[in-house]
Amino acid sequence: MMFGSAYNPANTYAELSRESDVRSADPHRLIILLFEGAESAIGVARLHAENGNVAERGSNISKAIDIIANGLKASLDIEQGGELAERLAALYDYMVSRLLWANMKNDIPTMLEVQSLLAEIHDAWSQIEPGKQQKNP
């Protein structure tokens, strides 16, 4: 065999595609990618939880926590965003604490809860068009 067992062309392609997306993305798109990454990591963690793979579950929950705390929450501008940004920061803190709980207790419903919260905010963020100003009627 030419490549080791860890080589997977599909994974390599997906990783390169993600890196390309990140390098070329505007700030709005970067936030979308963060939501997608966190939701995906939780989904993978759930699969590993169902299969009893503790190390991989923990690794993926850690990835989701990192994206939420050091990506989504860190991107908030409390000064410009005011109360909404403060509430999102609190919600991101809640998600992180719930994921820590889910990891300790192998709690799949809690993983689903956080994934659902992320999906709701992701959906709202996706509906915002960059550069489009709201006009008063």
Quick: pLDDT tens for 46-66. 999 999 999 999 999 999 999
Contact between 67 and 99 under an 8 Å Cβ cutoff? The reply is no
CATH number of the domain residue 80 falls in = 1.20.120.340
pTM of the model: 0.79
Residue 105 domain flag: yes
What's the token pair of residue 33?
């990618």
| Predicted pLDDT of residue 66 | 97
- What's the structural domain count of the chain? 1
For residues 112-127, give the mean pLDDT. Answer: 96
Q: Could you tell me how many helices (H) and strands (E) the chain has, helices first?
A: 5, 0
pLDDT digits (tens, 9 = 90+) for 5-34: 444 555 554 555 555 555 556 888 999 999
Residue 107 lies in domain: 22-126
Residue 76 domain flag: yes
| Predicted pLDDT of residue 113 | 98
CB under 8 A, 24+ apart: contacts of 45-53: 45/102, 45/103, 45/111, 46/108, 46/111, 46/112, 46/115, 49/106, 49/108, 49/111, 50/108
Residue 109 domain flag: yes
